[in-house]
A and B are shown apart, each in its own frame.
Chain A
Amino acid sequence: MEEKARFRVLVVVVVAVVAGGALFAVAALSAPGDVPWSLATVLILIILALVAIVVVGKERKDLKSGFPKEDERSRAIKDRAGYLAFFVSLYFLLGMGFFQAVLDEEQVFARPPAEWAMIYVAVMGSIFLALHAYLNRKGVPG
């Protein structure tokens, strides 16, 4: 796909994700009770919006500079970060299950499955971003 077309698709996807997050946050805020969860959704939305601004800004800069959006090194970093994030988040999922089943007998931290899924996705995304930034600085074997 042409670089400009890819950039437009990226902008549309980012706007859709942020808009989805905003709807979710509005729904959570307007629902009665559970203030911590409502605040958490607003925090997630703010993080999403910040990441979106950074990603779109970087893509725009790359497009203007004439460099390709991706090359073999950036693909290697993305692949490695994705691979590691998958396994680390699997251990996080196992830990969450163990915590809920064994350590949290009183069900103090019990949440609906949809909320656990949101937390899992947020953790997985954060691990991916952190690993991506780390590998981008440290380098990956070719």
Chain B
Amino acid sequence: MRTRIKEFRARYDLTQEDLAKKIGVRRETILFIENGKYIPSLKLAHDIAKVLKSSVDELFIFERD
């Protein structure tokens, strides 16, 4: 899974810490999601998309192995 969270964070000048605090998760969670090492729940993906004024489809790119 690839994500465009970093790109969208930069657009809104948000650090990983800022984003984590807005959503109510730990900073490492954002780091791992960005690196594709953790696939978030639909609710968390939705929350991230909402903060970044985007959609789940736009932020998360699922690729078949």
- Set of chain B residues within 8 Å of A74, measured between Cβ atoms: 26, 29
Task: State which size class the interface on A falls in.
Answer: 10 to 19
Determine how close the nearest CB of chain A comes to the CB of B53; give it in whole angstroms: 22
Q: A71-B29, A73-B26 are in contact. List 17 more A-B contacts (CB 8 A).
A: A62-B26, A66-B21, A67-B26, A68-B25, A68-B26, A71-B25, A72-B25, A72-B44, A73-B29, A73-B40, A74-B26, A138-B37, A139-B35, A140-B38, A141-B38, A142-B38, A142-B40
Residues 32-54 of chain B, each 1 if its beta carbon lies under 8 Å from chain A, else 0: 10010111110010000000000
Complexed CA–CA distance, A4 and B17 (Å): 21
The 10 lowest CB-CB distance pairs between A and B, nearest first, are A142-B39, A139-B37, A71-B25, A73-B29, A67-B26, A71-B26, A139-B32, A139-B38, A73-B38, A71-B29
Closest Cβ–Cβ distance, residue A12 to chain B (whole Å): 24
Is the contact region of chain B dominated by helix, strand, or loop, or is it mixed? loop
A66: B residues at CB distance < 8 A? 21
| A/B interface sample: 15 pairs, CB < 8 A | A66-B21, A67-B25, A68-B24, A71-B25, A71-B26, A72-B25, A73-B28, A73-B29, A73-B32, A73-B38, A138-B37, A140-B38, A141-B38, A141-B39, A142-B38
Q: How far is the CA of A140 from the CA of B32 in the complex (A)?
A: 9
Asked whether any CB of chain A lies closer than 8 Å to the CB of B4, the reply is no
Query: Within 8 Å CB of A138, what residues of B?
Result: 37
User: Most A CB atoms within 10 A — which of B21, B29, B35, B41?
Assistant: B29
A140 to chain B, nearest CB (A): 7
Bound state CA distance, A74 and B24, in angstroms?
13
